[in-house]
Amino acid sequence: MISPSPAQPDLSHVSDLFKLSHTPLFWTPKYLFSSCSLEHLPFVFWLVDVLRPRESVSMGVNKAVAHFAICQAVKQLDLDTSCHGFGSWGGNSGSHKIPDPLQKHNTEHYKSFSQLQWGMSDDAALCFNNGSIDFLNVGQRLNISLLDKLEDKWLPLMSDRGAIMLCHIEKAAEMPEVVARLDALRQRFAHIEFHHGGGTLILLTGPAPAPALLEMAKALQEPENTQNIQQMFGKLGKACRMETLSPQEFSQAQSLGEKRDQQDDKNERINKELLDLRKAYDLRHKATSILQAELYDMRQQAQKAGPDKAQALSLSLDARDAQFSALHDQLDAVTRERNDLARVIEEKFK
């Protein structure tokens, strides 16, 4: 595999939070396959480090990429954690057999603290006591039925420090009911959310979350930190994705990445131009309104004044009219330019 060296973003605002000198963020995952969790493995490593779960449960395990990343972190950090992975391999075919490659990897590397079991969500929930689970990783695609079970059956099982990780957030945006339910969960719990890799949402469900997780949730609410944190985890996740590519695929991905970066820079410049135009429009609109009010007052005065004063006011009015006309022309020009730029942006993102 090719190990890329992605450019590092500016982390000056978040270096204390992540303790970059010894963070697990830069560990190399030992078990890599394409998965919805793949680009979120650096965060999983960091989460396990700061949460130090006693019980970790992965629900909806398929390729077990996230489950084995949790296990890798537990082993490297020498934690006293029990890891449970539940999957429904084979569906309802009746085989209920864990795929041999997954069982083999689990046995060879993590058998002392990790178990893989066949089980649906309802069956898996029966294996745990209320308040016993510190970390729940949900790998299934989200739907209303799953979210119902999450709230009814799994939330009571979460500990005071509990954290739930949901994947496939981007695909969930296609279902209005799911979007509404996720928004309600965001309102209910402190949370961490990333937009890369299909999106992931981490809900801090307990009353006493790990301090570092709560600190990150707060940091992501601050605009000066959000871009740096999102960019950092996006680039780390991209590196994990690149590890799974062949040399030819890696070269193609690099080229596409460079083009995307160039487009992002161009979009940023366009958005800045639009913002500047909006500010110019607001200033000119305000100046036009003030001048229009002054013109009205001067006309009222001219009607009430004597001949000599009226003539002087008339001359002043003519000058003001010319000034108003010029300012109005400028406002029209700014409006046309702003509308043209808005149409360009709208066409680009259709």
The more confident residue out of 174 and 305 is 174
pLDDT at 4 over 50: no
Closest CA to 164 of 200, 125, 216, 121: 200
Amino acid at 73: A
Same domain, 39 and 70: yes
pLDDT of residue 250: 44
Question: What are the Cα distances from residue 7, in Å, to 10, 57, 152?
Answer: 10, 34, 43
pLDDT of residue 170: 87
pLDDT mean over 73-98: 86
pLDDT mean over 227-251: 73
Same domain, 129 and 35: yes
Q: Give the pLDDT band of residue 285 (cuts 50, 70, 90).
A: low
CA distance 253 to 238: 10
The more confident residue out of 193 and 300 is 193
pLDDT mean over 292-300: 68
Length of the chain: 350
For the chain, first and last CA: distance in Å? Answer: 36
CA distance 294 to 217: 51
Is residue 164, in this structure, part of any structural domain at all? yes
**Residue that is last in its domain, among 245, 268, 292:** 245
Q: Could you tell me where the beta strands, DSSP code E, fall in the chain? A: 55-59, 82-87, 114-118, 133-138, 158-166, 190-194, 200-204
Give 153-169 pLDDT, tens digit per residue: 999 999 999 999 999 89
Q: What CATH number is attached to the domain comprising 141?
A: 3.40.50.150
pLDDT at 337 over 90: no
In order, the DSSP letters of 70-116 are: HHHHHHHHT---EEEEEE-TTTTSS-----HHHHHHHHHHHTTTEEE
Same domain, 20 and 65: yes
The more confident residue out of 291 and 81 is 81
The more confident residue out of 18 and 129 is 129
Amino acid at 276: D
Is residue 343, in this structure, part of any structural domain at all? yes
CA distance 330 to 174: 43
CB 24 within 8 A of CB 212: no
Give 26-37 pLDDT, tens digit per residue: 898 888 887 778
pLDDT of residue 227: 83
Residue 273: domain span? 260-348
| Mean pLDDT of all residues belonging to the chain | 80
Is residue 254, in this structure, part of any structural domain at all? no
* Count of C-beta atoms within a 10 Å radius of residue 349: 7
CB 48 within 8 A of CB 83: no
CA distance 27 to 76: 10
Give 110-156 pLDDT, tens digit per residue: 999 999 998 888 888 999 999 999 999 998 889 999 999 999 999 99
pLDDT of residue 6: 44
Give 174-221 pLDDT, tens digit per residue: 899 999 999 999 999 999 999 988 899 999 999 999 999 999 999 898
Structural domains counted in the chain: 2
Same domain, 93 and 55: yes
